[in-house]
Structure 1
């Protein structure tokens, strides 16, 4: 048997644990003298036992432990084990070390399981949020389609004015229910601290504007189709840009769109 086979046979562990007969101990000592790798393997097993069991060996004082550790780790020769030596404390260390490793593995697995559960919970929450968001968008889109398909609604095109020639909007007015929806998708995003305000206009005999609401949900609306207040027989609709909260009368210099019914 070569040195590698001898090391892998498991006899060196039994040697360190004091479980060999006198003849077997003599054989191990001979192999350790003949093969440096066998000697190093014995020292490695001894080091592992000492280092792993230190934290769970309360019956040893720090002084005694350091004496044993220094003796085991500081020697240049392999400690020759005697079969009649009291190995109860060493086997206790080994058992404790096995418990420590076992608990460590269980703790690691528990942490891994908890981390997996947390990831699954996070993904579930994100999925639920996405589903809710999709449902809201679906509902909003269905409402817009209902407005477009309602033959009772009159579509009023609101063209861009001097302050914003490229802007446009559309008002959907129901002459029976008096409800008004504004499609504001053609309006630029209002500056911070400003809001679009919708006006129902009477053109004759005198221009008379009446506020029918703010497009303050512009930023959060997916479709940009926003319901405002009812309007009584409007002749035109206009949209101006006003300070947040709206104005009592339209700022004509900030008239963005205008269209006749």
Structure 2
């Protein structure tokens, strides 16, 4: 099966419209046009483009030049010169009893034909160049789009590497202690891993391994630290979504804590924990 796009882009259709093909090549183009609608449409489009270009660049002759040409035509028609075999016979014209010789040189028709085909060839070359430039522009746009996507992917990967490195830093740092908060009687299967550094007063949650019961959109999880027998709010959080790449979440700071616990509270958190909604808890000692 012929590759129609490559055939159209080869430039042979422009040469066909200009009449610059051999009889065999012309027959081949006509066969392709009969078989493929796209080829016929391209030929029509090329013909129209050439007509539009010729019409747009047509030059109106000056009035004086037009009168001069018309006068020359009338004179030549009135003249009794005889042209035979491409040559001019010299006529003798008598004016005021003197013999005047009028030599007429025939214009070479091949010159005008050459310029006609040269102009058509230049026009065809211009159309092919424009088409090539448009294709090049489209390919450059596609390359820019691919490059932008690659840069975004690269940035995304770099961010993920930074996040992973930060996560590893927590486990490398000996000041952090890791606690596993286990489920309560309300949710015995629940589990949450927490890292806490009393020296740095930082609390970090492991978001990837958490197993907490589901809740509706009007509620959130809230982390509490028990300090001196009193609950201290350490912030609210939700389960990570599919698009979340962060493996850990840093909560509010705390220097001393005897216990950590998580409750389900209304959106935005509560001032005091709802004990009946406690899902995980764990002592630090």
Both proteins in one fold, TM over 0.5:
yes
Q: 1:184 aligns with which of 194, 207, 210?
A: 207
The answer to whether structure 1 residue 259 and structure 2 residue 278 are counterparts is no
Aligned residues: 200
Once the two structures are TM-superposed, the CA of residue 241 in structure 1 deviates from its matched residue by: 2.8
Q: Distance between the aligned counterparts of 1:179 and 1:161, measured in 2?
A: 25
Q: Distance between the aligned counterparts of 1:130 and 1:102, measured in 2?
A: 42
Compared CA separation, residues 190 and 97, structure 1 to 2 (3 A): farther
Indicate the structure whose relative CO is greater, using CA pairs within 8 Å and at least 6 residues apart: 1
* Deviation string, structure 1 residues 42-61 (Cα, Å, up to 9, x no partner): xx8xx999877433333599
Extract unaligned runs of 5+ from structure 1: 1-12, 18-36, 62-82
Compared CA separation, residues 105 and 238, structure 1 to 2 (3 A): same
- Tell me the TM-score normalized by structure 1: 0.61
Partner of 2:177: 154
Partner of 1:235: 258
Compared CA separation, residues 150 and 196, structure 1 to 2 (3 A): same
Q: Distance between the aligned counterparts of 2:174 and 2:121, measured in 1?
A: 81
- RMSD value, Cα: 3.9
Q: 2:148 aligns with which of 100, 113, 125?
A: 125
Q: 2:221 aligns with which of 185, 192, 196?
A: 196
Partner of 1:210: 232
Compared CA separation, residues 170 and 56, structure 1 to 2 (3 A): closer
Extract unaligned runs of 5+ from structure 2: 1-15, 31-42, 61-85, 87-106
Once the two structures are TM-superposed, the CA of residue 147 in structure 1 deviates from its matched residue by: 0.9
- Tell me the TM-score normalized by structure 2: 0.57
- Whether the 8 Å contact between 1:161 and 1:255 is mirrored in structure 2 is yes
